[in-house]
């Protein structure tokens, strides 16, 4: 086997391929792979947080009525519901109008001012 390596050295003028990579090359590759995994985990966590806050379900406010009874305003996928909560169940009281966005509120306020001046 050793004569084959010497034969390659004599013919090509260089030694054969290095079969054992240097320790620094291995450590560098490992660092790159670990950095890519950490970046991927961070992106996935951030994407899940944005999905949860973007839409879904949330309690806007709740009011206790005493004796384990309360009412709550719940937003579910863009709908706002007024729910009655009691020990024996949950009752839909009414569906509320969605809250206007900031742009809609400003346009309503400025439209009202324009009518008052005219």
- Give the whole-angstrom CA distance, residue 4 versus residue 26: 27
pTM of the model: 0.45
Based on the domain organization, do 6 and 37 belong to the same domain?
yes
- Where do we find the tokens 């009655």? 84
Based on the domain organization, do 41 and 70 belong to the same domain?
no
Contacts of 70 (CB under 8 A, 6+ apart): 62, 63, 64, 84, 85
Based on the domain organization, do 33 and 81 belong to the same domain?
no
Q: Are 8 and 15 in contact (CB under 8 A)?
A: yes
Tens digit of each residue's pLDDT (9 = 90 or more) over 11-32: 555 665 666 678 888 889 999 9
Domain that holds residue 38: 2-53
Based on the domain organization, do 79 and 108 belong to the same domain?
yes
Tens digit of each residue's pLDDT (9 = 90 or more) over 37-83: 999 999 988 887 666 655 578 888 999 999 899 999 998 888 899 99
What's the confidence (pLDDT) of residue 81?
95
Based on the domain organization, do 46 and 59 belong to the same domain?
no
């Amino acid at each position: 086997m050793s004569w084959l390596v010497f034969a390659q050295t004599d013919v090509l003028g260089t030694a054969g391929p290095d079969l054992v990579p240097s320790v620094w090359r291995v450590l560098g590759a490992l660092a790159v792979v670990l950095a890519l995994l950490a970046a991927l985990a961070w992106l996935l966590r951030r994407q899940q947080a944005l999905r949860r806050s973007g839409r879904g379900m949330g309690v806007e406010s709740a009011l206790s009525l005493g004796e384990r009874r309360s009412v709550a305003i719940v937003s579910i996928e863009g709908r706002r519901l007024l729910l009655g909560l009691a020990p024996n169940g949950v009752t839909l009281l009414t569906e509320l109008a969605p809250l206007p966005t900031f742009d809609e509120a400003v346009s309503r306020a400025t439209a009202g001012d324009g009518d008052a001046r005219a």
